[in-house]
Amino acid sequence: MPTWSALTTLSGPDRAHALAEAIEGMTPEPAGVGCFEIEDGSGLWEVGAYFTDPPEASALALLELAFGARPFTVSELPEIDWVAKVRRDLSPIEAGRFFLYGSHDAGKVPEGRIALLIEAAMAFGTGHHGTTQGCLLALDRLAERGIEAQNVADIGCGTAVLAMAAAKLWGRAVLASDIDAVAVEVAAANAAANGLGGLVRCVEAAGFDHPALQAAAPFDLVFANILMGPLIALAPAMGSHVAPGGRAILSGLLNDQAGAVLAACAGAGLVAEDRIVLGEWTTLTLVHAG
């Protein structure tokens, strides 16, 4: 069955979410609607919808005018087995001692590596993004220095790649949280698929706002691979939830955004210890100086 996509961009989350809601009421009704912030520091949001019948050009034009959006780009999409395509396109990833792979590449795991299985059907957060790779490399560097965290949290965990990496590295329980309920379900499924269901606990929470996180704090190590804005907002809580001498590995940052996050974290007692740059993305390792 053919599918059509209609994509546009506009500024501001409020207008973007309002436009997405308006699209849901269109005729023909869309099969799905998405609304995402573009991670380039521009402040723009992308709103897209998928249709099993061609959307009416006049209806889209009215929505553009009503919400101040750029003209929709409408495309007919080819019929593709997307999971099979992801399997072909997502090759295994090596980041220090960590090896991330799909089940279709199970025979390629090298000896002596910490292997993490991420299925193609759960492809967001597979480790192919420079921010996830940077966090894994930062974790590997800590281990190379003989640092061993006893108490670890992964805030905004996505597929829980980082939580699982720490759990496998040290054989200790890790708390993983995400604000999105679907991400929490995916994280728990990934942990189970890697034999880590008893070590990685996944909870739905905004930041550290969950009884399990409050009870377990302070942490020796906190991952937060999110975005600049949330990281800056989270800095005071990060300072109070990381133990003195403990560390935070932060990413989701374009290179020119790192300075603002460092400044916010310095005010919370977290100072720079290490930095990894992969292309346009920066990963920071901070230590609590308190």
Show the tokens assigned to 114: 């910490």
In one-letter notation, the amino acid at residue 93 is: I
In one-letter notation, the amino acid at residue 103 is: S
- Cβ 190 vs Cβ 122: under 8 Å: yes
Domain borders along the chain are: 3-77, 128-288
Low-confidence residues of the chain: pLDDT under 70:
1-2, 39-40, 78-91, 104-107, 119-129
pLDDT at position 79:
66
- Tens of pLDDT, residue by residue over 253-274, are 989 999 999 999 999 999 999 9
Separation between Cα atoms, residue 36 and residue 227, nearest integer Å:
13
From the candidate CATH numbers 3.40.50.920, 1.20.5.510, 3.90.226.10, 3.40.50.150, the one assigned to the domain spanning 128-288: 3.40.50.150
Which stretch of DSSP H or E encloses residue 216? Answer: helix 211-216
Map residue 46 onto helix, strand or coil. strand
- CATH numeric code, 3-77: 3.30.70.260
pLDDT at position 183:
85
Separation between Cα atoms, residue 266 and residue 101, nearest integer Å:
36
Map residue 194 onto helix, strand or coil. coil
DSSP-derived secondary structure for 5-26: EEEEEEE-HHHHHHHHHHHHT-
pLDDT at position 93:
81
